[in-house]
Amino acid sequence: MGRFVARRLLGTILVLFAVSVLTFLIFNVVPNSDPAQRMAGKNATPQLIESINEEWGFNDSLPQQYVTMMKKIFSGEMISYEGREPVDDRIVEGIPATFSLCIGAAVIWMFFGILFGYLSAVKAGGWLDTTLTVVAVAGISMPVFWLAAILLNYLAYKTGIFPSQGYVELTENPLEWAYHLVLPWITLAVLYLGFYSRVLRSTMLDVMNEDYVRTARAKGLSERRVMGKHVMRNSLIPIITLFGLDFGALLGGAILIEAIFNLNGIGQYAEESLANFDLPPIMAITLFGAFFVVLFNSLVDIAYAYLDPRIRLGTSAQ
Amino acid sequence: MAVEPIADSGPADSGPWRLALRRLRRNRVALGFLGLFVAIVVFVLAAPLWADHVAHTGPNATHTLEKVTVDGEKREVVNPEGKPIGPQWFGADGKFFLGADSRLGRDEMVRLMYGGRTSLIVGVVSALITTILATILGLLAGYYRGWIDPVISRSMDVLWAFPVFLLSIALGIALAVGGLEVLGVHISGGSLWIPILIIGVVMVPYMARPLRGEVLALREKDFVEAAVAQGAGSARIMFGEILPNLWSTVIVFFTLNVANNMLLEAGLSYLGVGVQPPNSSWGTMIATGNNLITSDPLLTIIPGTMILLTVLALNVFGDGLRDALDPKSKVRFEAHAGVAATGAAGTAGLEELGR
């Protein structure tokens, strides 16, 4: 186990390095224009461009520029040239709202995704299955920010059932916190809900045809026990794998949902910066988002290896 | 979408493609949605006809201070408070059929048709790029052991580490300002090629990985050994022997990828880093419409519904295609709408779920 963890961590460090290099390339090398000018944003003055050139060392060699950029991002000293505020501080401020949104949505989509997938598989071919399939496929086929905008209009602006905007701190008022987050949670969950219920349905249908399920039935176990102990347990594995991957990526920014509901999280910061062509925040958010995904996935892998000896011994199929 | 057992699918003399076609023909739902997709394509192709002969205006022509005759009575296209005219249906002989889009007073119906062209072009061309790159990389990585596979696979892993949507907006904002120089060709920041290339590239790992897995399995098959014994070179084995066995997977991936890319484009365009003005797409139309959602909700609802219908049609048809081509397929390439729609990365969307 120790050796597996060490090897996995070494791999993680290499990927983190590669991710940071790619981020550097995306922002400073790939585009075909003066980097200082791009960084200065909409109200670029010659003086500002000159000082950015100085600060970021855009006349240095590329490796030197890379080091400068990483230093700036990780020291917390990077400021955005549009709002003139420290970028990292704004990102840290956005964490509670973004995490509240993502965790709540994840609870909803896991619960209903598994419930719908289960019902769909057990009643395969029936009207309930058809209905749930239609709902699920529609869910994965719509631009969810569009659904969010429409729900916001009819359920908040027009009827006032839900509050229209903003985020209330959990510590300030838990009820208001949840009330303000209900619509964002639901819209963010819709798509994953559809996707997860589809995956669970097809996995369950496969598992239900396995010999050990037939054996379980043959020895007279109750249907509940067969389903619970034998079918569900094995069908949930791909769901959990997906969840590990999706959740890490989700926190990288539920950008559109935050922007529509004005949640003041990291995603909304990204959206505002995009609207202003303000590059430094996007750089930091991209890098931190990718770092989070890599680290989260490594943790998931290690947890898996702990649970399943085949993985850490390297005997599982590629 | 019922999966037909192979056993009763006809005589032994029919080839696999004909067999698949027969299975597809029996899948009414998939065919219905294919019909819907064809109808949408016809709708957007008819854009110039509608613009020239019915609406008498172009997609980007503004009519802010003009008046339009509705049922014999002159009405302002945009009223003094900046509210655009609502849907007129045929009240103004087809002018402003769906109303005007904003205080610029552009004809929403004409924009919807031309915007749909943009959305479809971005979806299809980017999917073509993804499919070609992913197929080549998947073949190379799956066929060659040695150093090629690790190099390709690890590079894919790095791209994979980025949340898709985050990577796309990062590229979008970086390229929107200055444009891009590819192989000596300059592409300006406002070009339609920018979102096409971005989406085409960021989706590659999600398709290359499952394809590589299939190639790994195929290269151990007897027919590959037979080709080697006949003295076939690597290129002939990859493209002549293995590739034909990949086609069915590639076609399904392509269909679902178009759907997925259209959603990604809509999300990028909504944030202003996808399709740039004066081009418009259904995504940019939602962004424009959303400013007026309390007074004119249709301006938001209609372009989004078009996206929903198109993506739905492609997803259902793609599913049916997979069932027809390879009923026992374990490879899943669910169009992970999340990628575009929520800004979530959906790293797992195009995952192999083979056990």
DSSP labels, A130-170: HHHHHHHHHHHHS-HHHHHHHHIIIIIIIT-SS--S----T
Asked if the Cβ–Cβ distance from A149 to B337 is below 8 Å, we say no
pTM: 0.90
Q: What is the ipTM of this complex?
A: 0.91
Instruction: Please name the member of B170, B312, B348 whose beta carbon is closest to the beta carbon of A282.
Output: B170
Residues of B in contact with A203 (CB under 8 A): 353
Residues of B in contact with A188 (CB under 8 A): 342, 344
In this predicted structure, the answer to whether residue B334 has a pLDDT above a threshold of 50 is no
Asked if the Cβ–Cβ distance from A158 to B176 is below 8 Å, we say no
Largest CA distance in chain A: 82
Cα-Cα-Cα-Cα dihedral sign, residues A110, A113, A119, A120: negative
What pLDDT is attached to residue B13?
A: 53
What pLDDT is attached to residue B98?
A: 92
Asked if the Cβ–Cβ distance from A140 to B216 is below 8 Å, we say no
Distance from CA of A197 to the nearest CA of B (A): 12
The predicted-structure confidence for B61-80, as pLDDT tens digits, reads as follows: 999 888 888 888 888 889 88
Nearest-CA residue of chain B relative to A282? B170
The predicted-structure confidence for B34-56, as pLDDT tens digits, reads as follows: 999 999 999 999 999 999 999 99
Asked if the Cβ–Cβ distance from A246 to B345 is below 8 Å, we say yes
What pLDDT is attached to residue B170?
A: 92
What pLDDT is attached to residue B347?
A: 31
Asked if the Cβ–Cβ distance from A253 to B163 is below 8 Å, we say yes
State the average pLDDT for chain B. 85
What pLDDT is attached to residue B344?
A: 29
Torsion angle, CA of B267/B273/B278/B284, rounded to 10 degrees? 20
Instruction: Please name the member of A26, A138, A256 whose beta carbon is closest to the beta carbon of B343.
Output: A256
The arithmetic mean of pLDDT across residues B231-253, rounded, is 91
Nearest-CA residue of chain B relative to A153? B294
Largest CA distance in chain B: 83
Q: What is d(CA A289, CA A281) in angstroms, rounded to the nearest whole number?
A: 12
What pLDDT is attached to residue A91?
A: 92
Tokens of A48: 């500002």
Per-residue b/e over B316-335, b at no fewer than 16 CB within 10 Å? bbbbbbbbbbeeebebbbbb
Residues of B in contact with A22 (CB under 8 A): 158-159, 162
Residues of B in contact with A38 (CB under 8 A): 174, 177-178
DSSP β-bridge partners for residue B70? B73
Name, in order, each residue with C-beta under 8 angstroms of B157's C-beta and a sequence gap of 6 or more.
A15, B205
Question: pLDDT tier at B228 (50, 70, 90 boundaries)?
Answer: very high
The arithmetic mean of pLDDT across residues B15-31, rounded, is 89
* B282, B115 contact by CB (below 8 A): yes
Collapse the DSSP code of A211 into the 3-class scheme (helix H, G, I; strand E, B; otherwise coil) and give the result: helix
Using CA atoms, how far residue A69 sits from A251, B15, B111, B132, B176, in Å, is 23, 58, 42, 34, 21
What pLDDT is attached to residue A252?
A: 54
Provide the percentage of residues in chain B whose pLDDT is more than 90. 55
Distance from CA of B171 to the nearest CA of A (A): 6
A84 versus B352: which is more confidently predicted? Answer: A84
Q: What is d(CA B346, CA B214) in angstroms, rounded to the nearest whole number?
A: 22
The arithmetic mean of pLDDT across residues B209-236, rounded, is 91
Nearest-CA residue of chain A relative to B349? A242
In order along its 318 residues, chain A shows pLDDT tens digits of 788 889 888 989 999 999 999 999 999 888 877 888 888 877 778 888 888 888 888 888 899 999 999 999 999 888 888 778 899 999 999 999 999 999 999 999 999 999 999 999 998 888 999 899 888 899 889 998 999 999 999 999 999 899 887 888 888 889 999 999 999 999 999 888 988 998 899 889 888 888 999 999 999 999 889 988 889 888 887 788 788 878 877 865 588 999 899 998 999 999 999 988 888 999 999 999 899 888 888 888 888 778 777 766 655 433
Nearest-CA residue of chain A relative to B163? A249
Name, in order, each residue with C-beta under 8 angstroms of B284's C-beta and a sequence gap of 6 or more.
B115, B269, B270, B274, B275, B277
Distance from CA of B158 to the nearest CA of A (A): 6
Q: Within 10 Å of residue B231's Cβ, how many Cβ atoms?
A: 7
Name, in order, each residue with C-beta under 8 angstroms of B351's C-beta and a sequence gap of 6 or more.
A241, A242, A245, B210, B332
What pLDDT is attached to residue B346?
A: 32
B167 versus B352: which is more confidently predicted? Answer: B167
What pLDDT is attached to residue A183?
A: 93
Backbone angles phi, psi at A86, to 5 degrees: -65, 125
Distance from CA of A53 to the nearest CA of B (A): 17
Residues of A in contact with B163 (CB under 8 A): 249-250, 252-253, 289-290, 293
Asked if the Cβ–Cβ distance from B337 to A249 is below 8 Å, we say no
